[in-house]
Structure 1
Amino acid sequence: MKDSEYNVVEVAVPVPVRSSFSYLSKNQILPGTRVKVSFGSRTLIGVVISSSTKSNFQKDLKSIDSVLDDKELLNKKDIELISWLSNYYKTPIGEVAKLFFPPSMRKEIEIPDEQEIFELTQKGEFYSEDLLKKSPKQLEMLSYFRKEKTATRHGLKSISYDSRILRELIKKELISKKKIKYKEEIQYETTENFLELNSEQKAAYESFKESLGSFKVHLLFGITGSGKTETYMHVVRDVLENHKQVAVLVPEIGLTGSLEKSLKSRFGNKVVTMHSSLSNKDRQRSWKSIQSSSAKIILGTRSSIFTSTPDLGLIIVDEEHDSSYKQNEMPCYSARDTAIYKAKLHDCPVVLASATPSLESFNNAKLKKYALNKLEERVSEASKPKLELMDLRGKEIISGLATNTIAEIKKELTNGNQVMIFQNRRGYSPVVVCESCGWSPNCLNCDVRMVYHKQTNKYSCHHCGYAENYFQECKVCPNNELSFYGAGTEKLEESLRTIFPDFPILRIDSDISYKKDLNTLLAQPLKGEPMILVGTQILAKGHHLPDITLVVILDGDFSLYSIDFRATERMNQLITQVSGRSGRGNKSGKVLIQTFVPEHPSLEKVVDSSYETLAENLLQDRNQNKLPPFYHSINLITESTSYISCKEELIKIRSMFVNPHIDVIGPQPCIIEKRKNIFRWQISAKSKNRTLLHNSLNRVLENHKIIGNKVRLSIDVDPL
């Protein structure tokens, strides 16, 4: 059979090859449709990205095995976004295309049309709690339904539900179960009213509203507690009234819960979430409701930006500065930058919101590329917290806390207030060492020390997850007593329980929050009782805890001597964000920053200057030193079980960069040279001209072929 009798379709197949592949089809297949194809000895699922009626090929082509969808699942703008992501981030187009589907749809799986809904019955509303006294778990679930009225199985995960308990309540006719079509609306009560905006908020809101229906990037630069969320809630309402969709991005899963609750209290059943903690079924169901336009608000983490939104009218990127928006593995995309390009394709505005904007966004606002909307006052009666440096020199320190700091904590607790202590190290002791020979328990797979975790009684690697059971003796010399230094969140929590036995201590870090729902944990301080919260940067992001009056930052020196040129920017952002948890209610707030170098210029500026002033100073330094955002960079990373192969491959690649306007640094080992038993080396190429840099790299990639499979090459465009 001749090629001319067929349609030729280009298929993005999930293989590590940058181009698409041509296949034949008797029927026309629209771009955005999933197809099953033969690829070598394998059968794979790919996505059609283009189709033509005539073949330009003289050779024989394989035919499509089967078409999996009755209609296209991705629209033209999705295909354009896939192409842009592949070209800009130098990633095989098939590897990008698969990200636009939930995991279960990357396989040949039928999408279900129904889901289970559980509702409180009239009998359950008035059922006597005394009858459930002997069944506290049933009573807990019934109380949840009396508050929420309706729930899905995913919603019940917030109370760690047991399906047996649910069955018992259904059997007693306190809860009913039914199945609904996905296009039917799940009813949620809308209980929260919109608050009146102040003059700054109104000005920002009017600016957003004015740009609806056209592409524009807004930087919402508002200090902590200034009402950024309330401001963009108002424009979300306008978008929904125009029958359009809104995508809201947050940097971490832990931030979705409180924002989801707030969105549902305003907009009810129109809200769905998309993130990796959802089950495959729930992600698939959310995806389908978004793709069919029955869901109007999509709340999710970075990968949710790939969800097909046919009626997109607005994108909001909350905490836009957060490095979690950048993926560290290929494709090394920035969800923030992808959101901007997606908004351009859909001809809609995008709002980048932050109290501490990235220097890239701040500079674009200075250059008038972005509209700058500033909120410089806290809402209601809240006042800005007072920042102080606590000089640790010559002071007694207990598990990282100076005795003066302990006295300040005691004073706040005695006055009925809450205290937050920030320590960005989880575990018990970050440093374990033999004082006789200097040996430390290192990870077998990575080039890093392991951290002792008392809760699990293990030494753990925070990079690959490798762990060893606790041992006390050195494995190199006869010494049988290892020494433990430093204080992680576990040790800090233990010490605080000893120092303040009469007050609750709540630890919140990834060791805890992965086991328990973060919103359930954060509900405890919302009761207003005096207590101490101990946590990592999870606590620094976006949480409204109105009774915290004192924030303590244990290690204010953490970034002062880093080799990372972004370290000072991140330190400023983190201190500002952590400080923003203090004094958010009607009480004034205070922030203590413990340091051994209080005279350091960077710390003095943090205390005495606004974030805007800090950003201006950093931009001057970056410009003088040929660093982003004034220069653009790309890292090329080789990974191999062979140390020599990593280095040799990069030497070949470096020799291919011949343009005098491109600076190339390396080859050199990555900061963590060995991870998961794989050696890692890199070169960094930078230029003032972004187009020149990308074109040069494209030529390198076209001409360079890695021989064999000993080395894996990764490309990180705009690395963080």
Structure 2
Amino acid sequence: MAQSYAQIVVDVPTQQTNRPYTYDVPDELAAQVQPGVRVLVAFGHRSVLGYVVGLTEALPEDLTEAQVKDVLTVLDERPVLSSELLELAHDLAKKNFSFWVAFLALMLPTALKASYRKELTAKAGLSDSDRVAYLDGQKQVLVKMKAFSAKGWRAIRNLQKNGLLDVRTVVENQGKVKTELAYKTNADLEVLQKIDNELSKGAKQQRRLLNFAMAHPGQTFSKKDWQAQLDCSLASLNTAVNKGILEKVQVEVKRRPAIMGAKALSGSLQGQKKVLNDEQQAAYDRVTSAIEKGQNKVFLLEGITGSGKTEVYLQAAQKAIDRGEQVLFLVPEIALTPQMQRRVEERFGDKTALLHSGLSSGERYDEWRRIHDGQVQVVVGARSAVFAPLDRLGLIIVDEEHESSYSQSENPHYSARDVALFRANYHQAPVVLGSATPSLESRARAQKGVYELLTLTKRANPEASLPQVDIVDMRQVQLDRGDTNFSQELLDKLKAHLKRGEQAVLMLNRRGFSSFVMCRDCGYVPRDPNCNLAMTLHMDSRTLKCHYCDYQEPIPRICPACGSNRIRYYGTGTEKVETELQALLPDYPVIRLDQDTTRRKGAMGKALSDFGEKKAQILLGTQMVAKGLDFPDVTLVGVLNADTGLGLPDFRASEKTFQLLTQVAGRAGRAKAQGEVVIQTFNPEHYALKYAEKHDYEGFYRQEMAIRHAAEFPPYYYTIQIQCSSPDENRVSLQTAKIAAWLKKRLPKDVLLLGPSPRSIAKMKGRFFFQMILKMKKQNEADELLRDLVDRSQKADQDFRLEVRRDPVSFM
């Protein structure tokens, strides 16, 4: 038998270890070590988790047998990563200037990621004080890395060096199956007959249990099932165990994410298949033709709000499922997954799985295992669901494809939309990118013929029409009525719609009570020490909070700068608007949706369910109320301040504002009643608002593209953001300037370098940020140079960090 070697990527995320290492596969593990399994290997002086990415019979030329270590153990019975996902991880790491192992870990549920602990064992001579300090007075303990400070670990290493303490790394597998107690009937009918003969006439409960056991020999039922079917007590079950009728066993319980149970949640939407109109049918025919031919085509489904894009998705998905293939259905936010999950489950039943970050680690692990075991036909989820272990992909749907939440901004960086395109190409399956307001990049590709454009120009409900949009100039309102969140026009419409028993959605894209607090005497504004940003006031918790690092402190009553008591609130947030609504319309309860009210698991579902059942007629929230919601009785939408995103230092600010306004306006008038939209703004002449008023995506697209062309921004140029950070502002400023000079000497002449400059939010979580932007015509023109830069950055001081982001969704 030929000697076998494994190529293993170790769980040590540094640039120096960003490659596979060769390990010897012992004969006894030969059958278990396969590409895609997790293993335990020795690396340096410790044991670490590793991912097998390949097998070879030949030893690399630069290694000898003596240098190659053995694989210690295999953690999986079968591969947890397919050859497709292994290839994808390598491609993403290369493309996004990141670590291979970071993407391998990202593709697995948290339960399958390594948990490292240290086993500390006292040796002869260890003092009682050290035993108490580091081992809690015991002989041996298992501790997490965060159990001690850096100073504590230095002391532990000194004790180890002096032979007083033994320190060993233990890698724990967190993937645990949930079990519960159940009772299994005796499979031996002769034994059961014997027990029957010996039972006394008075043992009626035992007789019933025995008769049931004889009718179901060798079968297992949960305690709940026994009690429901036979109405027997726990004591009776335990007596039956003692008599030999039953046996106690542990059975696995699959943790399934609960979906919102209220029928009103999906509004007028039912699980049955609907008749498509001519535009929907044409889009459906093009997509299903590609499914049947196994074509890797990308379709951009541009449909106005309420045009029935979801029904096209579902019927196309059914076609793929009928062919024995699987469907991946991506939505941009957790907020949208419950509604979409309900619609998919109504259509496809229990063959649906849900994956998003709002699940508990146990639920996510069990859903992942259902998919991995091939028990699932459709996966619905947010960004990370794009890595679901599906092996027969026949269709990928990316709903609201323009959303920036499809891009992961923290390391490792990736775009779920790009990953979807990779996977579709691998499986030779079509992709449908759907949106009422496609990103300029996608729309430009459709115009060039790279994607096929499918359009839906009318609402699916023939009785529904696009709502009438009115723009209100808040500059005049402020002069007439003073500081208020409600123009008279919006207030009058709100009262009229509510009086008729209809519902309203109000959006203000800022949570909290007020934007900031300021002293009226000296102008002092309390700022967060970690980010140097003005903190937002939250009246419900009576605190000032930073929404970036979650630092909070009590609301000051006296100005710490000048001692004045004239501390006042400025600006507004959803919490303040809720208070104002309660004063203006006391007879109408309000449901508020923002990050503060939906932190608790299931809170979002409960709130939407209550709104669907009309427990409240007003739904107030941040941008999470703008997308995906379909309630037939919503006839009025009010945007309290359309300017919150327009003033941001971001070249996509106008595009994002137009998309958000168009999306939220689309919540109104989705049934028979005519919808109305009121947009309040201090910039009534801005082109993004003018085009949103007319529901004119094509007009906005043409004007914004002209601006992007003049400014040399995407989609005419590819961009790369190089971001440097450090706790020391002077050091990061100097180092970034040196990097800029180094790059300017080496970059191709046609690559533009902007910066360096401080990031718009220059300090966050105690770190100072500087950035540079590269603009280029060819996508991969500077890749080799940037990889060299990332390699060099590994040798910098520990406090200095460099990140390279391809095609960032924001430069803020």
Shorter-chain TM-score tier: 0.7 to 0.9
Q: Residue 439 of structure 1 aligns to which amino acid in structure 2? A: Y
- C-alpha distance in 1 between matches for 2:749 and 2:576: 53
Q: Match of 1:621? A: 707
Q: Please, which of 752, 760, 775 is the counterpart of residue 686 of structure 1? A: 775
- C-alpha distance in 2 between matches for 1:181 and 1:168: 18
Q: Match of 2:548? A: 463
Shift of 1:30: 2.2
Q: Which aligned runs of 4 or more in structure 1 are off by greater than 4 angstroms?
A: 110-118, 165-174, 176-184, 188-191, 702-705
- C-alpha distance in 2 between matches for 1:71 and 1:169: 38
1:430-441 correspondence runs (5 A): 430-441=515-526
- Which string of whole-angstrom CA distances, capped at 9 and with x for unpartnered residues, describes residues 295-329 of structure 1? 11111111111222111111111111111111111
- Which string of whole-angstrom CA distances, capped at 9 and with x for unpartnered residues, describes residues 134-190 of structure 1? xxxxxxxxxxxxxxxxxxxxxxxxxxxxxxx9999999889x999568799x9x999
Q: Match of 1:206? A: 285
- C-alpha distance in 1 between matches for 2:796 and 2:607: 52
Decide whether the 8 Å contact of 1:582 with 1:589 is kept in 2: yes
Decide whether the 8 Å contact of 1:330 with 1:715 is kept in 2: no
- Which string of whole-angstrom CA distances, capped at 9 and with x for unpartnered residues, describes residues 459-507 of structure 1? 1110011111222211111201311111210110011111111112111
Q: Match of 2:365? A: 284
- Which string of whole-angstrom CA distances, capped at 9 and with x for unpartnered residues, describes residues 515-561 of structure 1? 25212211223235772211100100101021111111111233334
Q: Match of 1:24? A: 23
1:670-681 correspondence runs (5 A): 670-681=759-770
Q: Match of 1:707? A: 796
- C-alpha distance in 1 between matches for 2:691 and 2:487: 23
Paired residues, what number?
669
Q: Match of 1:492? A: 577
Q: Match of 1:551? A: 637
Unaligned runs of 5+ in 2: 115-171, 183-223, 238-248, 264-268
Distance of aligned partners of 1:665 and 1:706 in 2 relative to their CA distance in 1, 3 Å threshold: farther
Q: Please, which of 92, 109, 114 is the counterpart of residue 173 of structure 2? A: 109
Q: Match of 2:660? A: 574
- C-alpha distance in 2 between matches for 1:418 and 1:546: 9
Which piece of structure 1 moves more, 447-456 or 700-709? Answer: 700-709
Q: Residue 719 of structure 1 aligns to which amino acid in structure 2? A: P
Shift of 1:576: 0.2
Shift of 1:509: 1.0
SS of the counterpart of 1:475?
coil
- C-alpha distance in 1 between matches for 2:175 and 2:594: 36
Distance of aligned partners of 1:172 and 1:556 in 2 relative to their CA distance in 1, 3 Å threshold: farther
1:54-453 correspondence runs (5 A): 54-56=58-60, 57-58=62-63, 60-107=67-114, 108-109=172-173, 111=175, 179=251, 192-212=271-291, 213-380=294-461, 381-392=463-474, 393=476, 394-397=479-482, 399-453=484-538
Which piece of structure 1 moves more, 421-430 or 275-284? Answer: 275-284
Decide whether the 8 Å contact of 1:426 with 1:490 is kept in 2: yes
- C-alpha distance in 2 between matches for 1:375 and 1:109: 49
1:618-697 correspondence runs (5 A): 618-657=704-743, 658=746, 659-697=748-786
Q: Residue 19 of structure 1 aligns to which amino acid in structure 2? A: N
Q: Residue 10 of structure 1 aligns to which amino acid in structure 2? A: I
- C-alpha distance in 1 between matches for 2:749 and 2:469: 47
Q: Match of 1:161? A: none
Identity among equivalent positions (%) equals 33
Q: Match of 1:147? A: none
Distance of aligned partners of 1:48 and 1:546 in 2 relative to their CA distance in 1, 3 Å threshold: same
Q: Residue 11 of structure 1 aligns to which amino acid in structure 2? A: V
- C-alpha distance in 2 between matches for 1:602 and 1:265: 38
SS of the counterpart of 1:511?
coil
Q: Match of 1:605? A: 691
The TM-score with structure 1 as length reference comes to 0.88
Q: Residue 13 of structure 1 aligns to which amino acid in structure 2? A: D
- Which string of whole-angstrom CA distances, capped at 9 and with x for unpartnered residues, describes residues 103-146 of structure 1? 1111343755676799xxxxxxxxxxxxxxxxxxxxxxxxxxxx
SS of the counterpart of 1:211?
helix
Q: Residue 624 of structure 2 aligns to which amino acid in structure 1? A: I
Shift of 1:615: 1.3
Structure possessing the higher radius of gyration over alpha carbons: 2
Task: Say whether 1:10 aligns with 2:8.
Answer: yes
Shift of 1:705: 4.6
- Which string of whole-angstrom CA distances, capped at 9 and with x for unpartnered residues, describes residues 261-300 of structure 1? 1111111110111112212121111111111211111111
SS of the counterpart of 2:414?
coil
Q: Match of 1:140? A: none
Distance of aligned partners of 1:179 and 1:460 in 2 relative to their CA distance in 1, 3 Å threshold: same
Q: Residue 491 of structure 1 aligns to which amino acid in structure 2? A: K
Distance of aligned partners of 1:208 and 1:693 in 2 relative to their CA distance in 1, 3 Å threshold: same
SS of the counterpart of 2:660?
helix
Which piece of structure 1 moves more, 376-385 or 60-69? Answer: 60-69
- C-alpha distance in 2 between matches for 1:586 and 1:191: 17
Distance of aligned partners of 1:54 and 1:553 in 2 relative to their CA distance in 1, 3 Å threshold: same
- C-alpha distance in 2 between matches for 1:535 and 1:172: 48
Distance of aligned partners of 1:331 and 1:117 in 2 relative to their CA distance in 1, 3 Å threshold: farther
Q: Residue 606 of structure 1 aligns to which amino acid in structure 2? A: A
Q: Please, which of 46, 51, 55 is the counterpart of residue 47 of structure 1? A: 51
Q: Match of 2:628? A: 542
Q: Match of 1:482? A: 567
Q: Match of 1:144? A: none
Shift of 1:402: 1.7
Distance of aligned partners of 1:256 and 1:296 in 2 relative to their CA distance in 1, 3 Å threshold: same
SS of the counterpart of 2:350?
helix
Q: State the superposition RMSD in angstroms.
A: 2.9
Unaligned runs of 5+ in 1: 119-164
Decide whether the 8 Å contact of 1:77 with 1:346 is kept in 2: no
- Which string of whole-angstrom CA distances, capped at 9 and with x for unpartnered residues, describes residues 364-416 of structure 1? 11111111111110112111011111122133155411233212211221222
- C-alpha distance in 1 between matches for 2:255 and 2:455: 39
- C-alpha distance in 2 between matches for 1:349 and 1:24: 39
